[in-house]
Chains A and B, each alone.
Chain A
Amino acid sequence: MSTWRRLHVKARTARGLLTSGPVTERHTWLHRHLPLCQSLSTSTPLRNDFFKDLEAQLAAMRKKAADALPGSNWSPFEINPNLPPERADIVIVGGGVVGWSVAYWLKKKEMVRGGVKVVVIEKDTTYSKASTVLSAGGIRQQFSLPENIYLSLVSAFFMRNINEYLGVLNEDPIDLQFNHSGYLFLANEDVAHIMEENYNTQLDAGAKVKLLSPTQLKDKFPWINTDGVALASYGLENEGSFDPWTLLNAFRRKAISMGVIQCRGEVTDINYTSQLLRNMDGDQVELRRIKSVKVQMPNSLEYQPVDCAIVVNAAGAFSGKLAEMMGIGYGPENTIAGVPFPVEPRKRFVYVVHCPNGPGLDTPFLIDYSGVYFRREGLGGNFIAGASPEESEEPDTSNLEVDHQFFEEKIWPSLANRVPAFEKLKVSSAWAGFYDYNTFDQNGIIGLHPLIPNMYFATGFSGHGLQHSPGVGRAVAELILDGNFQTLDLSMFGFRRILAQEPMLEKNIV
């Protein structure tokens, strides 16, 4: 009996090396109860248990061996299933609405199924700090540059037919919750002539806009105080607000259904090769071609280099970091490499106010000449308001904390002046989001940097990224797959203007 027990203990230790968690646990239980068995019964039940265990062990070993055979995906090392693939054709950095739009259009334009392997890298898939979902979600045609108006018209067309573009078979149709409220711009004496110019540009581009005199304005919206207003322009069609989260998810769902790989991680380094060339003047320029990007996994030291042919920089407010990795702006003065990349994050606050006596269903997305805007949110007397701060009073961008003082001092006085009902409002909530602010001319940057032949930029939209995302995505996909713009010529948004120091300013920007 005692020899048998010793044998059993040996077998147990030997097995202990082989087994995994649950089995050992069961065994210690057995061991603990051993004295009980000993005192009550013979060793037969124990032996039975031992053989039963052995059978289970053998079965587990057989399974492990079968798993290790070629053809199964088992490996002795634990591999993170969320790692991006080792190789990809196109890596899109930034999974905001622009990034996903580029991914979708790339897949839509590819000739054969799986023609391009597209990976979208997003550092925060909960989108808790993403500019896309923290925006006010408006779309307007009242711009001064024809390109911006065309982009808005393209986006409006896209949103009108969104279920043909982004509908997935056997899934629910997309409801953007588009609110056709229209934009209402107010101008004072000083800027009325700019508004008239813009109006003519907008009509030429095909937008449906109407100019209103203060009397007409008062007639249409009796709740507005028209003091100081010289002219108003009012969008009749294709303008309003929608749910950004729905649009982002629709793009993402469709792109993933078409085979785009989504990856959570952050690009921390870029591996590139340099080539020294001589330009017409005889100066040396360094051409940098990206070989791979290093994707750091969230909350770990693990990373994966992704070999790629093309990188799309759609990182929005943080696209400056990526440009910095490529050394843009760090070259000697008065050369192309020395021109800094002008996109930086800027914090903007959005306040939700409750005012039951405020304007009703016909509330437009109103933009006052003081820079304050507001729109209706839902039917319960809630409004969203905000403004851009002065250049000298830009808030700190290290966090997303809301400055309530800013509302009290800058926004509320203007709001209450324009709409007297807003004197009795209550701020019910507020949030902050980042603008991918182009400090050079507040317009998007689309295209290649002359010194980096395989990094396409789609960033710097300074708050228009969401509404222009469908058109921008298509334009970038055309640049990549066709080599030039096919449908809408956006070469004005290229790097040329930055290098030549010719800003393309939007008049009346908000």
Chain B
Amino acid sequence: MNGAVMSAPIMSLHRCYQRSALLFTARRLLSSSSVSPPPLHRRLLLYLTQRFYDVELFLSWRFQKKRERLEGKNAYYGYTKRHHGPDIATAYYILSMKGSLRYVGQSEWLHSKRRGKFNWDFLNYKDKQLQDINMSHTLINYRGMENLENQRSLRTLSLRGCPEVDDWFLARLHVFQDSLEELDISHCPRITTGGLAALRHLKGLQRLDVSSLPKISSPGLVVILLEEMLPQCQITATGYDYMLRQEGEHEAEEHVLGQR
């Protein structure tokens, strides 16, 4: 009898803990969407990978192929450069990556059309330097940067939402240190604080957009440090919820109090 009396509060406590654990997981799911479980076929493959070497080999082979395709797209346009000059090679690279560009002294942009087709008019602009390059939402990576390097009068570069732009890419932007005035690296998922430190070479920078970089841990402090490093530059940093962490802590505290 005594045992039964004792066990009742323990049971309720246990249930309470279970519920709070559920609450925690639910909040974690809500807070970041990337934690959501992968689709069924990927889970099946994962299951098979743990049991069969062949599946593992196949998956790593597929991953490698994907990398190779990406590297192939970003390959050095040496042939074009030899036959048509470096500027046409750069323009060709940008247009085939579905970016857009504008020459020095021109007002209209050259775009690629839907399905990757583009106008070959740029062949007329031999030995004409580029002024603005927009590579937003393209697959440009470190290797592709080699095709842009000879543009010494580049003024704006937009790399908004490029999944392959990382810290090493930013470290290589020093080649534009004399000319670059505007840089947009917002929404790039792979950029971290260590890469932003490499922007110190761009002393002529006047506008910098570092909005919504998910890998930056303390954005408020980083933006202040960036402003200190590039004093004459106007820095845009939206899309960060500075209050998020404090709110979370507050909630956790309340939760603990409620349990008591």
Binding site for B on A (CB under 8 A): 113, 160, 164, 169-170, 175, 177-182, 208, 236-238, 240, 360-362, 379
A237 lies within 8 A of B225 (CB)? no
Does B222 belong to the interface (CB within 8 Å)? yes
What's the Cα separation between A357 and B20 when bound, in Å? 44
Contact of B167 among A170, A178, A182, A360 (CB under 8 A): A178
**Shortest Cβ distance from residue B230 to the other chain A in the assembled complex, whole angstroms:** 9
Which residue of chain B is the closest to A241 with respect to CB atoms?
A: B194
B228 lies within 8 A of A361 (CB)? yes
**Shortest Cβ distance from residue A119 to the other chain B in the assembled complex, whole angstroms:** 22
Chain A residues, Cβ within 8 Å of B201: 236
- Name 25 interchain pairs, CB-CB below 8 A, sorted by A: A164-B67, A169-B49, A169-B56, A170-B49, A177-B192, A178-B167, A178-B168, A180-B167, A180-B194, A180-B195, A180-B198, A181-B194, A236-B201, A240-B171, A361-B197, A361-B200, A361-B222, A361-B225, A361-B226, A361-B228, A361-B229, A362-B197, A362-B200, A362-B229, A379-B222
Interface size (B, Cβ < 8 Å)? 32
Chain B residues, Cβ within 8 Å of A237: 171-172, 174
Q: Closest 9 interchain pairs by CB?
A: A362-B200, A180-B198, A179-B194, A361-B225, A180-B171, A361-B229, A362-B229, A160-B168, A360-B228
Chain A residues, Cβ within 8 Å of B225: 360-361, 379
Chain A residues, Cβ within 8 Å of B142: 160
Please classify the interface of chain B as helix (H, G, I), strand (E, B), loop, or mixed, using the class held by over half of its residues.
helix
Which residue of chain B is the closest to A380 with respect to CB atoms?
A: B221
What's the Cα separation between A175 and B56 when bound, in Å? 23
Interface residues of B in 79-129 (CB under 8 A from A): none
Does B52 belong to the interface (CB within 8 Å)? no
Does B236 belong to the interface (CB within 8 Å)? no
Chain A residues, Cβ within 8 Å of B196: 361
Chain B residues, Cβ within 8 Å of A178: 167-168, 194
Chain A residues, Cβ within 8 Å of B174: 208, 236-237
Contact of A169 among B63, B167, B168, B194 (CB under 8 A): B63
A238 lies within 8 A of B171 (CB)? yes
**Shortest Cβ distance from residue B98 to the other chain A in the assembled complex, whole angstroms:** 24
Chain B residues, Cβ within 8 Å of A362: 197, 200, 229
Which residue of chain A is the closest to B60 with respect to CB atoms?
A: A169
Which residue of chain A is the closest to B59 with respect to CB atoms?
A: A169
What's the Cα separation between A178 and B193 when bound, in Å? 9
B193 lies within 8 A of A379 (CB)? yes
What's the Cα separation between A208 and B226 when bound, in Å? 24
**Shortest Cβ distance from residue A164 to the other chain B in the assembled complex, whole angstroms:** 6
Which residue of chain A is the closest to B217 with respect to CB atoms?
A: A379
Chain B residues, Cβ within 8 Å of A361: 196-197, 200, 222, 225-226, 228-229
Chain B residues, Cβ within 8 Å of A181: 194, 197
**Shortest Cβ distance from residue A374 to the other chain B in the assembled complex, whole angstroms:** 15
Chain A residues, Cβ within 8 Å of B195: 180
A180 lies within 8 A of B170 (CB)? yes
